[in-house]
Chain A
Amino acid sequence: MITFLFLGLCVLKVATSLTQFASIYPLDPALPIGSSLTATCTVSSELGLEARTLYWTLNSKRLPSESYTVLNRTALAVSLQRLNGSRQQSGDNLVCHSADGHILAGSCVYVGMPPEKPVNLSCWSRNTKDLTCRWVPGGNGETFLRTKYTLKYKLRWYGHEKECEDYNQGEPYSCYIPRDLALFTPYEIWVEASNQLGAAGSDVTILDILDVVTTDPPSDVQVSRVGELEDQLSVRWSTPPALKDFLFQAKYQIRYRVEDSSEWKVVDDVGNQTSCRLAGLKSGTVYFVQVRCNPVGIYGSKKAGIWSDWSNPTAASTPRSDRLGAGVCDPKAGEQNSTLRRELKQFFGWVRKHAYGCTGLSIKLYDQWRVWLQKSHKTRNQILQGDKS
């Protein structure tokens, strides 16, 4: 009884510590795709196991015994040919088992490719305070191995290189530098990719922080009706507060859409004003409007600047038309009006510049005429209806 108990305890001890008595070589190798690998499992003679009774699995799938070679009483080798890329980033599990299935030893095999040079490196700074950079892995991006990307930067003519540390910004292949960036002096920025099989660096991008600035979206966007005009809305906004003293040359863009449509119309020629009038709209319709800013010329930069995000949508509705046939949309007429108004504006501008004497002509006069026109339509319709009754 005692002997049985003793033997039982011995077996238990063996079962719980088998991995101390076996080893695999090579341990955790990294290999290019298409390579061959010969791995050897060596068991301690204390285990009392014979090599010919052992077997191998790769990712839990038993390997055929034809690929085994018994090297000696305690060592069994396996040969793998033309390896494919690793099934998981954590490596393929090549495991040596005893005949009853117990795991004796395991090795993680990493099969993949060295990285190609990262491409399309682009960076932008929010309000000149920080820098976010994004890139695309070279090739088709799949190396089958864990590949580390490091964004590095240095002042072009000074200083040592630094590494970006904040990689987890919810977007892969991007990094965020939160502070301590110099203005008015260029940086060299690049990305280095490395894995167990090699390394590659992107081309170096040289940039001045001021040339890649984007701002917060414009704030306080307000959209309101223009008196009784049925086809117009007035849009006003404030300069983004963080840089408001430096955005006198900034450009703005407006986009708007009808409430139940996903198609946005963009107004490009807003210039650097902080208000604009939308014309040629449908009457009695709700519109969503957004504005964005491009800090062109900030701190004297000559570059194009980067558009901010769009502001949160602001909604407003045009007055409902009381004319006969109101509710019947004639978008073509609206578009004609918008084109006509734009041409008239250009014409009046030219007149003021070149034709002395026509000083009273202005787009305001045209708007007043349109309001009068609509009122006179209303009056005519009332009279007509009165006639009918």
Chain B
Amino acid sequence: MATGVRHDAMGGNISFALSDCYAKAEALARKVHSEARQIRESYREKQGLSPDLNLDSIAGVPESGTSKWGELTEEERLTENAVAFAAFHSLLGEVLKEQQDDLTPGDYQFHDALLSLLAKVEALAESTKQLLLSLGYPLPRAGEEREEKGLPYFEKKKRGYKVMVELCGWALRAVRGFSRLKRRNKKEEEGGKREVKKRGSRR
């Protein structure tokens, strides 16, 4: 009986710890989304780009739009998020460098904002990987090293804007994903507690 109680308590603790991880990851994803939205607009103005700029022709930036999000498994969603945020960490670093060196040197406030977002994206990539590990899923393979191409300035501007647009999209996907995981975990927690109660009353 003692073993059964200990096992249930441990299962409850794990569930609680996961719930805490989901909540923190969701909160971080929300922050990334909020900051990315602000910086996206600021970026567009500073680069003089039109709000309806067509981003189709820009390659190399993970696109967040998908019709199949609801059909993905939990593992697939988390894996895609982990891959995307790792890529955005690298891409955002390039965007920052381009702004510092070429496009808006001297705009230190803007660079600081990008740097702050970069740190949060790195943290989100890391949190997502930790969740994959906690849930026993394999980590995705590290992406290939991107070759830095010497793009003309206008191409740099467009690509940077696409990075901001898609980062917003992925952050929103992550918020929804973690929220869903959190709700499911809570249901399981409550189901587990009811089961313990039942077993307890039968004894």
Contacts and interface: CB of A to CB of B under 8 A. Distances in A.
Q: Do A and B come from one complex?
A: yes
A91 B46 CA distance: 9
A60 B108 contact: no
A89 B53 CA distance: 19
Interface in B127-171: 152-155, 157-158
Interface in A144-178: 146-148, 167-168, 170, 172
A108 interface: yes
Interface stretch (A95-103, A219-227, A334-342): A95-103
B54 A93 contact: no
Contacts of B56: 15-16
Contacts of B59: 16-17
Nearest to A93: B48
B43 to A, nearest CB: 10
A216 interface: no
Nearest to A146: B105
Please report whether the interface of chain A is mostly helix, strand, loop or mixed according to DSSP. Answer: loop
A167 to B, nearest CB: 8
Interface in B12-51: 45-50
Interface string B102-119: 111111100110000000
A106 B152 contact: yes
Q: How many residues of A sit at the interface, in one of the four size bands?
A: 20 to 34
B57 interface: yes
B103 A90 contact: yes
Interface string A15-29: 111110000000110
Interface in B44-97: 45-50, 53-54, 56-57, 59
B140 to A, nearest CB: 25
A237 to B, nearest CB: 36
A375 B197 CA distance: 82
A87 interface: yes
Nearest to A172: B106
Given A19-B57, A102-B54, A103-B54, A59 B154 contact: no
A90 B104 contact: yes
A16 B59 CA distance: 8
B50 A60 contact: yes
A59 B48 contact: yes
B158 A90 contact: no
Contact of B107 (A28, A89, A92): A89
A202 interface: no
Contact of B48 (A16, A18, A87, A172): A87
A88 interface: yes
A105 B154 CA distance: 8
A107 interface: yes
Given A101-B54, A102-B54, A19 B155 contact: yes
Given A19-B57, A146-B104, A107 B152 contact: yes
Nearest to A102: B54
Contact of A106 (B102, B104, B155): B155
B106 A108 contact: no
A88 B47 CA distance: 7
A169 to B, nearest CB: 9
A90 B48 CA distance: 8
Interface in B144-202: 152-155, 157-158
A108 B46 contact: no
Contacts of B46: 88-90
Contacts of B48: 59-60, 87-88, 90-93
Q: Which of B54, B56, B154 has the most CB of A within 10 A?
A: B154
Interface in A45-104: 59-60, 87-93, 95, 101-103
A112 to B, nearest CB: 13
Nearest to B55: A103
Contacts of B107: 89
A148 B100 CA distance: 11
A108 B152 contact: yes
A64 B59 CA distance: 31
A234 B176 CA distance: 64
Contacts of B103: 89-91, 146
Contacts of B111: 168
B153 to A, nearest CB: 4
A148 B49 contact: no
Contacts of A89: 46, 103-104, 106-107
A89 B155 CA distance: 16
A15 B56 CA distance: 7
Nearest to B47: A90
Given A102-B54, A172-B106, 4 more contacts: A87-B48, A88-B45, A88-B46, A146-B103
- List 8 A-B pairs, minimum CB-CB distance, nearest first: A106-B154, A60-B50, A108-B153, A90-B103, A168-B108, A88-B48, A28-B153, A146-B105
Interface of B: 45-50, 53-54, 56-57, 59, 102-108, 111-112, 152-155, 157-158
20 contacts: A15-B57, A17-B57, A59-B48, A60-B48, A87-B48, A88-B45, A88-B46, A90-B48, A90-B157, A93-B49, A106-B154, A108-B152, A108-B154, A146-B105, A146-B106, A148-B105, A148-B106, A168-B108, A168-B112, A172-B108
